[in-house]
Amino acid sequence: MIPIAGYADRWSVGRGETIEFKVSSHFNQPYSARMVRIICADPNPDGVGIIEEDYSSVFSGKFPSRFQNVQLGSYATVDVQNQLPHLVKFSLVANIWPTLPDAGSQSILSLLDSQGRPLIELRIGELGKLVALLTNDTIGPQRFEVTDWEISQRKWYTVWLGVDMSNHRVSLGQQPLEAEFGMHDRGFAEFECSSLSSLTEVDRLLIAASGQSGLSSFFNGKIEKPSIMEFIPKVEADLHHFPENASDVVSLWDFSKGIDSQQIFDVGELALNGSLVNCPARAMCGSNWSGNEMCWRHAPEEYGAIHFHDDDIYDCQWETDFSFTVPATLRSGMYSMRIECDKSYEDIPFYVRPRTGQPQSRICVLVSTFTYTVYTNQARSIAGADYDRLVKERGTRPWNPDEVQDYGLSTYNYHHDGSGICYSSRLRPSLTMRPKYITICRSYGGSGMRHLPADTHIFAWLEHLGLNYDVVTDDDLHKEGHALLKPYQVVMTCSHPEYHTTNTLDAIYQYSRSGGRLMYMGGNGFYWKVAVNDNLPGMVEIRRGEGGIRTWAAQPGEYYNSLDGEYGGLWLRNGRPPQQLVGVGFTAQGDFQGTYYRRNSQLPSEYEWVFEGIDDEILGDFGLSGGGAAGFELDRADSSLGTPKNAVVLASSETYPDHFVLVPEERLTHLATRTGDPVSKLIRSDIVLFETGQGGHVFSVGSITYCGSLPWNKFDNNISRMTANVLNRFLTNN
């Protein structure tokens, strides 16, 4: 249990706009909230340490503590409103593909009264058997279970619960939909029942969940074509009625409709449409998927399944505790609401951005909020004595997602049923995207920080140089496009701009090709394509299809995003490799360890300005991230993937330990690489510079750990000097 936690309703906010903060506190006394401006969020004593400014004069206050609950688990809800009293003989029917049939009681379909009490329910029982539950005020719950049949994992079945109100009889049936099943997987049984609840009491239908006083019994797996039928199938042959015979259909929720939404549509006579809660996975292959079409938009009838999970989460739906309206005079930058109570604290970071077309600086830092959201609450198996010791030494919050999973995990983790998490939301507390958070304990020297806290190395460096800068986010750029970047002379990325939508990629490309100066300050950037949807603010979707460095693989037929209908996966597989944009692209990965660059000895004289004031041949053999500037995830130049012909390699890294490996997309066989080069030649980072026309330039460093070297030795080092040379040239050379 975390004693106090919170989140904001957005990543960034502009002048005159309002941001809302939601807090859950287990304390009895009020908590305080005050605003701080974040300059450096790395507490490593080998660096410059924590640098922040107190902005209590802009916002501070005390607020009453209250606990706000989190409901994990996805389901569908339908307002029935007593539409079923005419039914005397009927069935609850669905196709199911269970992923954890032996993991405890899981509801498939449930009819509830106005108090949320299940009256009639079809579920998988504790032992993986089909179960019917019926309840009324006279005799209480009645349970019927068949013990002779098995529900197998990841196999399609039609299952049904038949109810005959006039004869007080209940039936249960299951029919495998795949030919290889044995007879033990199919069956039908009837039971006598003392009394049945009147359907006049039915207020709501739930799909994939049930329960009273808080939902439970969440289903794990796919559900397809849940329906209410005005007949009771008894034998296998009766299944020809389901679901196409419209004369028998009372309600049938066709999940192949509205796939890009959180609505479900009833194509039966009652038209009882419903909604989804906590974003179960859509655009999932159904029982009838033929493999002839890979895009759900081309054959939606074959994508009529929804994959529900007991640990899905979208919006915690906490009430707002306080809000903040940005004053007109507040400078752009990174801020945090510091929540404090009884020696516990929480930081809720956010970014203040300028108005579009009204820059406050010539420099813009593009913050990778899509990447932050995708990685939110990543469990990395770092918990233990070494981590606890480092946390204590650095004074960071002690909780990490290995141990606390109350707020859901990241798309780098798995659901409880073993399927990959394809959605991630910012509308929940984040343990990981916080100032001072230590991501990696075994860091080969340095701070072990990534993403949000590591990116503050750039802010601290710019402050040290005395340069003003504006901050905008991926969320902003997706909505506003190139117009947001156009006024700036220089745009700098953060250390790991990995995830992008079509809109953000288009905007960055247009900026860099129309006179803008782009500084790509990281590695493994512009790698995965993600989707967002205006109807689901804060949600990001990733489909890990085809290849790439990935923690899970999307299933065949499920490579297209549900939120926008576009093909997902690598930008490389979408015809837009990173080399086309920034001259370098992801080539190798190892542990969180960095090494050095060697200057290009054949560099043309017109580029000597890059190394003005630097006599060293070896660059960046130091740093707060893995101990070196060229590490962890590396990008290299490759003309065959689009590195411009005029791109100049300023320096390249070398000498990597055995734990560094080539990315899968560069491998053809265990012996052959895509380029034909030896693996050792392809495991490197290149620093490149090229002109794009109209006065535009691109400078790319090709390493995640690069920015960790900027603050080394109080910013007095060759990486800092070289980067400052480039930035100053970009700012002064018209």
Encode pLDDT of 132-166 as tens digits: 998 876 666 788 887 778 889 999 999 999 998 88
**375 within some domain:** no
Whether 135 and 275 map to the same domain: the answer is yes
pLDDT band at 182 (very low <50, low <70, confident <90, very high): low
* Percentage of the chain modeled with pLDDT above 70: 96
Q: Are 179 and 89 in contact (CB under 8 A)?
A: no
**410 within some domain:** no
Beta-carbon count within 10 A of 203 CB: 18
Which residues lie across from 306 on neighbouring strands?
A: 223
**81 within some domain:** yes
- For residue 245, pLDDT over 60 is answered with no
Whether 641 and 723 map to the same domain: the answer is yes
Task: State the Cα angle at 455 between 381 and 475, rounded to 5°.
Answer: 95
What pLDDT score was predicted for residue 139?
A: 61
Whether 236 and 327 map to the same domain: the answer is no
Sign of the dihedral defined by the CA atoms of residues 703, 708, 712, 714, in that order: positive
Q: Which of 93, 76, 337 is nearest to 210 (CA)?
A: 76
Whether 720 and 586 map to the same domain: the answer is yes
DSSP type of residue 369: H
- For residue 184, pLDDT over 80 is answered with no
The 3-state secondary structure of 420-477, one letter per residue: ECCEEECCCCCCCCCCCCCCCCCCCCECCCCHHHHHHHHHHHHHHCCCCCEEEEHHHH
What digits encode the pLDDT tens for the residues 36-92?
Answer: 999 999 999 999 999 999 999 999 999 999 999 999 999 999 999 889 888 888 999
Residue 700 in tokens: 């790319």
Distance of alpha carbon 581 from alpha carbon 509, whole angstroms: 6
Whether 270 and 329 map to the same domain: the answer is no
Q: Helix, strand, or coil here: 295?
A: coil
Average pLDDT, the chain: 93
Whether 152 and 47 map to the same domain: the answer is no
- For residue 242, pLDDT over 60 is answered with no
Whether 252 and 228 map to the same domain: the answer is yes
Helix (H) or strand (E) holding 387: helix 385-394
Q: Which of 147-161, 347-361, 653-667 has the lowest mean pLDDT?
A: 147-161
Residue 285 in tokens: 């292959």
Q: Which of 146-150, 280-284, 363-367, 481-485 has the lowest mean pLDDT?
A: 146-150
**408 within some domain:** no
What digits encode the pLDDT tens for the residues 460-518?
Answer: 999 999 999 999 999 999 999 999 999 999 999 999 999 999 999 999 999 999 999 99
**639 within some domain:** yes
**183 within some domain:** yes
Contacts of 280 (CB under 8 A, 6+ apart): 74, 75, 76, 208, 306, 307, 308, 309, 312
Sign of the dihedral defined by the CA atoms of residues 509, 510, 513, 518, in that order: negative
Cβ burial, residue 677 (10 Å; 0-12/13-18/19+): exposed
Distance of alpha carbon 186 from alpha carbon 168, whole angstroms: 24
Beta-carbon count within 10 A of 270 CB: 15
Beta-carbon count within 10 A of 327 CB: 11
Cβ burial, residue 138 (10 Å; 0-12/13-18/19+): exposed
Contacts of 625 (CB under 8 A, 6+ apart): 443, 446, 447, 449, 454, 457, 495, 592, 594, 631, 632, 704, 705, 706, 707, 708, 709
**546 within some domain:** no
Whether 298 and 322 map to the same domain: the answer is no
What pLDDT score was predicted for residue 247?
A: 66
- For residue 129, pLDDT over 50 is answered with yes
Contacts of 732 (CB under 8 A, 6+ apart): none
Whether 638 and 520 map to the same domain: the answer is yes
Which bin fits 418, alpha (ψ -120 to 50), beta or left (φ > 0)? left
Determine the structural domain holding residue 329 and report its residue range.
1-69+318-353
Q: Are 255 and 304 in contact (CB under 8 A)?
A: yes
Q: Are 726 and 691 in contact (CB under 8 A)?
A: no
CATH number, domain containing residue 486: 3.40.50
pLDDT band at 605 (very low <50, low <70, confident <90, very high): very high
Residue 175 in tokens: 């029919």
CATH number, domain containing residue 304: 2.60.120.200
Whether 238 and 279 map to the same domain: the answer is yes
How far is C-alpha 676 from the geometric centre of its chain's CA atoms? 35
**180 within some domain:** yes
- For residue 167, pLDDT over 90 is answered with no
Q: Are 491 and 485 in contact (CB under 8 A)?
A: yes
Query: What's the structural domain count of the chain?
Result: 3
Dihedral angle computed from the Cα positions of residues 208, 142, 131 and 287, in that order, rounded to the nearest 10 degrees: -50
Whether 51 and 158 map to the same domain: the answer is no
Residue 64 in tokens: 């009453």
Distance of alpha carbon 536 from alpha carbon 19, whole angstroms: 17
pLDDT band at 241 (very low <50, low <70, confident <90, very high): very low
Q: Helix, strand, or coil here: 185?
A: helix
Whether 108 and 189 map to the same domain: the answer is yes
